[in-house]
Chain A
Amino acid sequence: DAGVIQSPRHEVTEMGQEVTLRCKPISGHNSLFWYRQTMMRGLELLIYFNNNVPIDDSGMPEDRFSAKMPNASFSTLKIQPSEPRDSAVYFCASSPGTFYTFGSGTRLTVV
């Protein structure tokens, strides 16, 4: 079991560019979560999916953020256009129930 796999590990991009973060959940886990970690706000839930269907996206900060889960083994979080204040570590987690398994995160820097 390779765990939750996120890519890329690090992303540096210029303001205004599109950024796509990727996540492969653990096989058999039916829930997938995207979190953002910042010093000011800690770990914030952005969106979560259950059986590939978005259930709660109330944490998505703006329309610039979008997330998809086209199948049970893949999800993306896209920011378009990116802004410096989007700089953070983005975590994906999957779960068969209550207990989450997190990926190692993507550190995004928007300059």
Chain B
Amino acid sequence: AQSVTQLDSQVPVFEEAPVELRCNYSSSVSVYLFWYVQYPNQGLQLLLKYLSGSTLVKGINGFEAEFNKSQTSFHLRKPSVHISDTAEYFCAVSDRWAGGGADGLTFGKGTHLIIQP
């Protein structure tokens, strides 16, 4: 069975400061990893994903994440945040590939990123 742990429920950061949102997963097989963002009153949007290959993946809005198999982590980072980055961020894991894509996503509880001016 797969699971995702997002240790921080809330992360306050000053504008233009760097941020790291932590994600650890457990899975007995190969995994596919995702970060989704949910802005207020909007649906979840894919930020980035790791399927295979380079362990450093770049996503939209200047975010990037690094897959670390030995530490079973997939932390999300941004070198300089903006007020508009205020949102809920969800890490997700899948251990199944079906129908042309990763399937059966398990989501973490989310981390609320709060940007302070």
Partners in one complex: no
